Amino acid sequence: MIIKLKRLLLIFIYICIIPCIVLADDVQEETELTNAEIQETLEISSNNKDILKDINSRAYIVIDRNSNRILCGKNELEKRKMASTTKIMTATVVIENTNLSDTVEISKKAANTGGSTLGIKTGDKITIKDLLYGLMLKSGNDCAVALAEYTGGSIEGFAELMNQKACELGLENTHFETPHGLDSENHYTTAYELAILSNYAMKNKTFAQIVGTKNYTININGYPKNINNTNELLGNLNGIYGIKTGFTNGANRCLVTCCKRNNMDIICVVLGADTKNYRTKDSIKLIEYTFKNFEPINVEEKMKEEFLKWKNKNKFSIIKGKTKNIELEMEELEHSTIPILKEQISNIDISIECENKLYAPLIKNTKIGNITLKINEEIIAKANILNKNQIEKKSVYDYLLQFFKDYKTYFNKLYDY
């Protein structure tokens, strides 16, 4: 009897411990950095030229939001667990496929989900909008399941929607199995693809508003409840305006951050930091490094200047064309301004490839060449050179007309003699 009781006690302890071990997510067992510690990290970042060597996170990346250009990274293409940064995709799919004013009744499955929760119970009624705030501010796994069930019919059905969206965005090294990101073998992404997903999500005004909110009052069964954002940098570092924290034992500490200062707008992703303090410090270091060492350059302006010089120096022959006049134009760049490492600005090289001898007919807006801006062989920007006017091919009639004109000119010259 005593042995049986011991076994039951061990089983009970095991059941109690397992959720803490496996399902832990965005728990607050670690203290956040104080303002003094944040200022100290900022000072270290500004004075340390080799700050990138002092990053604890297993993988990181910083991209320019306008062009998706990678500004710095480490193991950014390596597949890794992503913890609650998964909820960036969860919220995106929900926002694009539901009515935010709809009311959801919480299922037993959602209410019993482990890890970080909003604290909703079976039978509770709450709007999708408030569930989204609970999802992104409190990192509520219960909210994730409730939203998945409502939007996709089940967790499995919702995961299909998540993977369809990943495919649509070209995320080839990302796969979802759950809406909350608790550790799962086939649930992964890369720092790079998480940054691309985040950039897409932040273009949605509803999403951006939610993740940029420090605290918010939701309603459960008509009763108000105030919640705070788990993002420790929001409101504590210049320019931060989103987006999501994450933690599981398998993924370690993760953080995706958006930061905008003057003409630069970046996304920073850190994955696999050992502690919450490390992920905070790593994010600060990467953000400060980027704004200190990169300068937004109007590459389109530089390319157009070079193009005009080239165009004025070169002559073009139109073989078999009714007209010899050709109007060339450089195609507009999708992103005119791109951050460039300050020490590499002097290494900018612009090259032009274009045929000088062209054959009619030439259709309007025909590509006849290209102009490329590189830095140390890395292509930063590329644009087509277009023919802006229609040039038709000479017909037999045109050749006869030209013959008679030439003959008349020749005859007149003889007559003058």
Query: In the chain, what percentage of residues exceed pLDDT 70?
Result: 78
Residues 390 and 357 in one domain: yes
Among 294, 324, 346, the domain boundary falls at 294
Structural domain boundaries, residue 130: 30-294
Residues in contact with 302: Cβ distance below 8 Å, sequence separation at least 6, in sequence order: 348, 350, 373
Q: Do the domain assignments include residue 17?
A: no
Domain boundary among 247, 262, 294: 294
Place of tokens 């590499």: 344
Please, what is the average pLDDT of the chain? 86
CB 383 within 8 A of CB 330: yes
Catalytic residues, by residue number, are 84, 87, 139
For every residue of 28-42, which 3-state class applies, written as one string? CCCCCCCHHHHHHHH
Residue in this structure with the two tokens 């073009």, named with its chain if needed = 316
- 414 within some domain: no
Residues forming beta bridges with residue 252, ordered by sequence position: 248
Arithmetic mean of pLDDT, 215-230: 96
Q: Is residue 9 part of a domain?
A: no
Who has greater pLDDT, 8 or 296? 296
Whether the CB-CB separation of 46 and 265 falls below 8 Å is answered with: no
Instruction: Quote the pTM value.
Output: 0.84
Q: Examine the domain organization and report whether 246 and 389 are in the same domain.
A: no
Determine the pLDDT at residue 311: 85
| Backbone torsions φ then ψ of 104, nearest 5 degrees | -115, 135
**If pLDDT is split at 50, 70 and 90, which confidence band does 329 have?**
confident
pLDDT tens sequence across 348-377: 999 999 877 766 676 777 888 899 999 998
pLDDT tens profile 261-287: 999 999 999 999 999 999 999 999 999
pLDDT in tens, 16-57: 444 443 444 555 445 566 666 676 676 666 666 678 888 999
